């Protein structure tokens, strides 16, 4: 799929989102929307992403596809605010109050789960999740999703790991560790999920659990942007195809 067709599609869906906003009052407010315009990212001296534009609105999933080295992880990291942009801008609407520049810091509203799990192998699954729940807790004065977060026990149960609560992460298998990492999405709620290969090492049953929590998140009006090579089983997902840039040239 070409970028420009995606862009127009995005605009139409954005309009739909605004039109539908009054009818369906989502948990995250009326018109949550992430809009990326003319994004460019450099890694070292190499341009990895250039001229990338798309819109995602509440309740929508965007699957980022493309061959290895196409910039999928780079896109997710830049959306998470971990990489500086060299061109373009990312705007977020429908949450929080803009700061003095009129911008909303989008990085505050994303949950980034990369290739690495962000878990300490010496701590138990519950200790890890309790830490992240405390660390990523949000002041309820923001008025958003303050009451959405699950406890560590509930989150692990959702991922089918209730028995692993007091097991050090070092003793868990690769798939179980990944599931603990995914449970982090549930203990601290953010409206936008950025998932890099979320189903790595997961068995079929766990992949279905991941689909379930993503569907639940979308149903509450959240946004999921996932980079993956496998089918996530989301019926309404749009796809964004990235191609590797030839070095030095911008597309």
Which residue's structure tokens are 């692993």? 164
Do 52 and 99 touch, CB atoms closer than 8 A? no
Q: Which helix H or strand E contains 46, and what residues bound it?
A: strand 46-57
Choice between 118 and 219, CB closer to other proteins: 118
Q: Which of 8, 43, 162, 171 binds other proteins (CB under 8 A)?
A: 43
82 binds other proteins (CB under 8 A): yes
The footprint of other proteins on this chain (CB under 8 A) covers a number of residues equal to: 34
Q: How far is it, in rounded angstroms, from Cα 116 to Cα 95?
A: 28
Q: Which of 1, 11, 15, 122 binds other proteins (CB under 8 A)?
A: 122
193 binds other proteins (CB under 8 A): no
Q: Which stretch binds other proteins (CB under 8 A): 18-26, 28-36, 115-123, 198-206?
A: 115-123
Using DSSP bridges, classify how beta strands 87-93 and 33-43 pair: parallel, antiparallel or unpaired. Answer: antiparallel
Do 25 and 221 touch, CB atoms closer than 8 A? no
- Tokens representing 64 are 């980022």
**Subset of 142-161 contacting other proteins (CB under 8 A):** none
- Tokens representing 251 are 């597309």
Minimum CB separation of residue 83 from other proteins in Å reads: 5
Catalog residues that contact other proteins under the rule CB under 8 A: 43-44, 77, 80-84, 107-108, 110-112, 114-123, 127, 130-132, 134-139, 184
């Amino acid at each position: 799929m070409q970028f420009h067709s995606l862009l127009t599609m995005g605009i139409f869906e954005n309009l739909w989102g605004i039109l539908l906003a009054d009818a369906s009052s989502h948990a995250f407010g009326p018109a949550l929307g992430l809009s990326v315009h003319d994004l460019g990212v450099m890694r070292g001296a190499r341009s990895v992403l250039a001229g990338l534009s798309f819109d995602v609105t509440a309740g929508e999933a965007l699957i980022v596809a493309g061959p290895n080295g196409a910039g999928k992880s780079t896109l997710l990291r830049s959306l998470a605010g971990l990489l500086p942009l060299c061109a373009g801008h990312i705007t977020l609407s429908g949450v929080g109050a803009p700061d003095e520049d009129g911008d909303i810091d989008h990085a505050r509203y994303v949950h980034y789960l990369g290739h690495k799990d962000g878990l300490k192998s010496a701590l138990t699954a519950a200790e890890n999740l309790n830490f992240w729940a405390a660390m990523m807790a949000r002041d309820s004065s923001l008025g958003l999703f303050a009451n959405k977060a699950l406890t560590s026990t509930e989150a692990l149960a959702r991922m089918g790991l209730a028995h692993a609560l007091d097991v050090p992460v070092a003793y868990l298998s690769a798939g179980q560790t990944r599931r603990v990492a995914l449970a982090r999405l549930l203990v601290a709620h953010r409206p936008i999920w950025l998932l890099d290969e979320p189903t790595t090492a997961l068995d079929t049953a766990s992949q279905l659990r991941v689909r379930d929590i993503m569907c639940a998140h979308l149903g509450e009006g959240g946004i999921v942007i996932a980079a993956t090579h496998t089918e996530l089983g989301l019926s309404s997902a749009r796809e964004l195809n990235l191609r590797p840039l030839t070095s030095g040239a911008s597309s």
